[in-house]
Amino acid sequence: MSILRRLTIWIACLTAATVMMAVVLAGAAHAEGPDTGMEREVTVDGGAAPLYGSLLMPTGARPGPAVLLVAGSGPTDRDGNSTVPGVRPASLKLIAEGLAATGVTSLRYDKRAIAKSAPAAVNEADLRFTTAVDDAVLFARLLKAQPGVTCVVLLGHSEGALVAALAAQKIETCGVIEVSGAGRPFGVVLREQFAARNLPPPVMAQIEAGLTELEHGRQIANIPGLEALFRPSVQPYLISQLTLDPAKALAGVKAPVLILQGDNDVQVSVQDARLLAAARPDAKLVIVPGMNHVLKAAPADRAGNVATYADPGRPLAPGAMPAVAAFVKSAPH
């Protein structure tokens, strides 16, 4: 297999903007867990079609903060599961159920173009990173309008952490939780991922030149063999994302902040979490020992670590849920 062919296959699996809006034709069923209260489906106006989510309200919940769960990149649904083979950790569903067990209401949703929200897809050339931010704002407003909800905490996982930080600057919120979120601009992360693949120097030179142009807001000609990342229709979206700095975005959040990171994360490093914390010195930083990117206890070796991504029955890593629940309970409201 040629190097360009292998590169194309790898790019298609990247946790990156190009796969974020992949269209999934059917959503997963959402089974109600034991003793978690009542879950019902809700919608917001997605323009071409509704956007769908799951509102989980604990039985006998008292008035207080509620949590909006924002999924990460890729074709990831409301539960935190993906159409990418081997990525079905159900992390967001487990967080929602963990919150319900402590009496906290939550709302999680299928992103635009994903699962049951697939009909709300827009043309790729019209997508911008702010599309995801605006959708999160719509769901946050819906959650705030629910009985007993006094304020909304935004919890974003992975790329969703940046979405949550930007959404928090558009609405009133009583907290932001950044889970496994990058602390560096997307272009920096992409360069690291490509460099780790030991690609031929001519290919790396093309990638570097392309990213540099896009970072300056200039579209480029299509690069043969790299269409999955640099095709013309996705370049406006890339430009809108490459200009964003997650640390600066978090610095602009006025609400209290929790930064939650695992030290066995093979996608986002503890250093990323520290960069975010440096941007918000008053934030609470929690490093969970042994936790990986999908919030599961995992071995340090990459194969064993990634194997946990396919296990929805595996519980969240010890320490993750208590940190989240404690932060939400302490949110000013």
Q: Report which DSSP code applies to 245.
A: -
The reported pTM is 0.88
Q: Can you give the pLDDT at residue 27?
A: 33
Out of 32-46, 198-212, 280-294, pick the least confident.
Answer: 32-46
55-75 confidence digits (pLDDT tens): 999 998 899 999 999 999 989
Q: Is the pLDDT of residue 17 over 70?
A: no
- Tell me the residue type at 51: L
Stretch (H or E) spanning 220: none
Residue with tokens 């991504």: 309
Neighbours of 35 (CB within 10 A): 10
Which one is predicted more confidently, 196 or 323? 323
Among the ranges given (15-24, 127-136, 145-154), the one the predictor scored with the smallest mean pLDDT: 15-24
Residues 6+ away with beta carbon under 8 Å from 162: 156, 181, 182, 244, 246, 249
What does the alpha-carbon distance between residue 118 and residue 13 come to, in Å, rounded to a whole number?
19
Q: Is the pLDDT of residue 130 over 80?
A: yes
Q: Where are the beta strands (DSSP E) in the chain?
A: 38-44, 51-57, 64-70, 106-109, 149-157, 175-179, 257-262, 284-288
Q: How many CB atoms lie under 10 A from the CB of residue 15?
A: 21
Give how far the C-alpha of residue 205 lies from the chain's centroid of Cα atoms, to the nearest Å: 29
Neighbour-count burial for 250-274, b at 16+ CB within 10 Å, e otherwise: bbebebbbbbbbbebbebbbeebbe
- Domains of the chain plus CATH, in order, are 10-187+239-329 (3.40.50.1820)
Residue 4 confidence class, pLDDT cut points 50, 70, 90: very low
Q: Label residue 7 by pLDDT band (50, 70, 90).
A: very low
In this structure, are residues 101 and 94 in contact, taking their beta carbons and an 8 Å threshold?
Answer: no
Among the listed residues 92, 117, 87, the one whose alpha carbon sits nearest the alpha carbon of residue 21 = 117
What percent of the chain shows pLDDT beyond 90? 80
Buried b vs exposed e over 305-314: b needs ≥16 C-beta within 10 Å?
bbebbeebeb
For 221, other C-beta atoms within 10 Å of its C-beta total 9
What phi and psi values does residue 76 have, to the nearest 5 degrees?
-105, 130
Per-residue pLDDT, 35: 57
